[in-house]
Amino acid sequence: MASLDKYSRSRYFPTNNIDGIIENDLAFSGFSGFVFNDPFTFYTLTDYDVQRPDLISSKLYNRQNFWWILMKMNNICDIWNDLQSGMVLSVPSEDDIQALVIYMQKQKRLFNV
């Protein structure tokens, strides 16, 4: 079995056992209490970005893995309907994303006792 990517969102959400099935709690927000140190930049979506958070992440960070963090930060739950051309996203620095990932790992451990 292939190992999960270091930044795969599945690694940063607590799990729940629902009728014997282990599921990720996607409603969990590990962002609570995290302080971003660097100022955000902003990115205006183009027609090419609509429904493609992976490409947005790739443009901004040279990697597709941060798409879910960008979406969660900007309160985008439905990439099919919420991402619109002309929309402006708040974009954290890559250093802050790295720190957030570490923070979320610690938060997940607190909830997966």
Find the domain containing 47 and state its range.
Answer: 41-91
Quote the number of domains for the chain: 2
Task: Read off φ and ψ for residue 15, nearest 5 degrees.
Answer: -110, 155
Query: Is 3 a domain residue?
Result: no
Identity of residue 89 = L
Residues 78 and 109 in one domain: no
Query: Is 1 a domain residue?
Result: no
Residues 48 and 76 in one domain: yes
Across-strand partners of 22? 17
Length of the chain: 113
Give yes or no for residue 2 having a pLDDT over 80: no
Mind listing the pLDDT tens digit for each residue in 58-68? 999 999 988 98
User: pTM for this one?
Assistant: 0.71
DSSP string, 37-90: -SPPEEEE--TTTTT-HHHHHHHHHSSSTTHHHHHHHTT---TTTT--TT-EEE
Greater confidence, 33 or 53? 53
